[in-house]
Amino acid sequence: MKTILVPTDFSEAASTAAEYAVNLAKEIKASVLLLHIFHVPVPVSEVPVIIISPDELQKDNEILLKKEAECLMKKTGVEVNYAAKMGLAVDEILEEGKNAGLIVMGMKGAGKLSEMILGSITTDVLRKAKTPVLVIPENTVYKKPEKIVFACDYDPGTDMYAIDALKTLMKTFGSKIYIVNVKKKKEYVSVEETMTEIKMENKLNDVEHLYYFSEKEDLAEGINEFVEEHYADMLAVIPHRYSLLERMFHRSVSKKLAFHTHVPLLALPDNHAAAAIDFL
């Protein structure tokens, strides 16, 4: 049985991600591992304070995790395990993620994807993970991903094994994929990029897919409108060297043009074929 890792800080966003993860796990016959990372607070006051010991923190966090795990199992019947660890959040998530097929993380905020992802723990995990990461916006209700938008710039470094992972996802759920070329019309298209497009087409020739070209100068606005107009259930990216991800979520993007928060974001890592396909 495959494992879906769900880091949690017991926030509403994390709870939403956990709900999504167990529903996904139920469909693909996987188990879920809730992971909470904590650290011992360091007092900065000169006044004597009572410091909670690591053992006490461990016990308290395990009680909270057990309660959440039991609630999720009761709702879905999915096996939900849990673990509390002391350490640095990103490091521990990445380490535990090596044993998982998928990492599902919640996303906090007031509805602006660019603001919610940039500068967060989620950002660091996306940048460094060798395992696919699925980011779930706050208040998202689980829905089978029947329509997936794949934002692609045909970078020559695109890993075709990640395309295989996307195909596996599509075949599992019977999804239709919309491939959106996010390269601006005025940008020069190299021979290498054309070859990448041909390779990608060869990879996808046995699954239902459609190509579209965004005419928007603003990258986030173009994808945002496409996702909304086609009622997409998920947005997928292969953030090679994360140049594409940074373009999509640059801080200068206007708030009104940011992505709607109801669409989960799937980031498939480059150069990690086994991990990219393992969760299905």
pLDDT at 129: 86
Q: In what order do the strands lie in the sheet with 176-181?
A: 80-86, 31-38, 3-7, 102-107, 133-137, 265-267, 234-237, 147-152, 176-181, 209-213
The pLDDT value given to residue 148: 92
Domains 1-139 and 143-280 share a fold: yes
pTM of the predicted model as reported, rounded to 2 decimal places: 0.82
pLDDT at 49: 57
The neighbour count for residue 224, using CB atoms within 10 Å, is: 22
Contacts of 95 (CB under 8 A, 6+ apart): none
For the chain, the 3-state helix, strand and coil shares in percent, each to the nearest 5, are: 40, 20, 40
pLDDT by residue for the chain (280 residues), tens only, comes to: 589 999 999 989 899 999 999 999 999 899 999 999 988 665 555 655 557 788 889 999 999 999 999 999 999 999 999 999 999 999 999 999 999 989 999 877 544 454 455 447 877 788 788 888 998 988 889 999 999 998 876 665 566 677 777 888 888 888 998 888 765 555 555 666 667 677 777 777 777 778 777 666 667 677 778 888 889 999 888 765 545 555 555 443 323 323 444 788 888 886 544 444 455 5
Residue 75 pLDDT: 94
pLDDT attached to residue 86: 92
Instruction: Look up residue 12 and give its two tokens.
Output: 């509403």
- CATH architecture of the domain 1-139 equals 3-Layer(aba) Sandwich (3.40)
| Domain ranges across the chain | 1-139, 143-280
Q: Is-contact 263 234, C-beta < 8 A?
A: yes
**In the CATH hierarchy, which fold is given to the domain comprising 143-280?**
Rossmann fold (3.40.50)
In one-letter notation, the amino acid at residue 92 is E
> Rounded to whole angstroms, how far apart are CA atoms 95 and 104?
15
Tell me the residue type at 156.
P
